[in-house]
Amino acid sequence: MILRVLQEAEARGGRQIYRTALVKLVYLVDYIYAEHTGHTLTGLDYIWDDHGPNARGNEIVKRADRLESPQRKIEIDKGVTPSGNPKWSYRVREGVATLPLKDELGERIVRDVIATHGNLNWSDIVKASKSTRPVLRSKPGDPLDLAPDADKLKRLARLTAMFGQRDYDTKRAGIPLRELKRKYGLPA
């Protein structure tokens, strides 16, 4: 998913994404995905660190580092800001094929997050990430609960069941209902 965020950002303007912005953009994708599904797309847990939401153990940065080496899918430019602070920027390596996520909802969310936030400067991306429900309900150092509230989960379960039944009735005749329930995360 990190690679898709970088690819989509490049497709919409070709600019490098700085480390802080990358972390917050991945968080925003995971947050919105969790609002729809009850779990993150990446499987990561989040905390509110010194600079807002971040994956526990700085895992987004660690995964991005693995995309640079040994996988060689991205380039990380390590430099220094005019004020002398370190900076890292990320870009997809030339020739790396763009492969949409297999998860259609996740792919749509990546595209929407980058369309909405990808061309903002890093401080505006940080502001957007800090305005999400999990951050607003927490304080620095707290773990962030990205799962939607109980009422929203109930509505999601009802919608999922309704769509699952509609798929069974209209498009997917012959697929056992048990398999559809498993696909949509409902009790068998």
| Domain edges within the chain | 2-144, 150-183
Contact between 42 and 155 (Cβ < 8 Å): no
- Phi and psi based region of residue 183 (left: phi greater than 0; alpha: psi -120 to 50; beta: remaining): alpha
For 4-35, write each residue's pLDDT tens digit: 999 999 998 877 899 999 999 999 999 999 99
Lowest mean pLDDT among 12-26, 47-61, 171-185: 171-185
Summarised one tens digit per residue, pLDDT across range 132-156 is 999 999 999 999 999 887 777 777 7
Whole-structure pTM value: 0.80
Q: Is the peptide bond before 100 cis (omega within 30 degrees of 0)?
A: no
Say if strands 46-49 and 143-144 run parallel, antiparallel, or are unpaired: antiparallel
Which residue type does 47 have? Answer: I
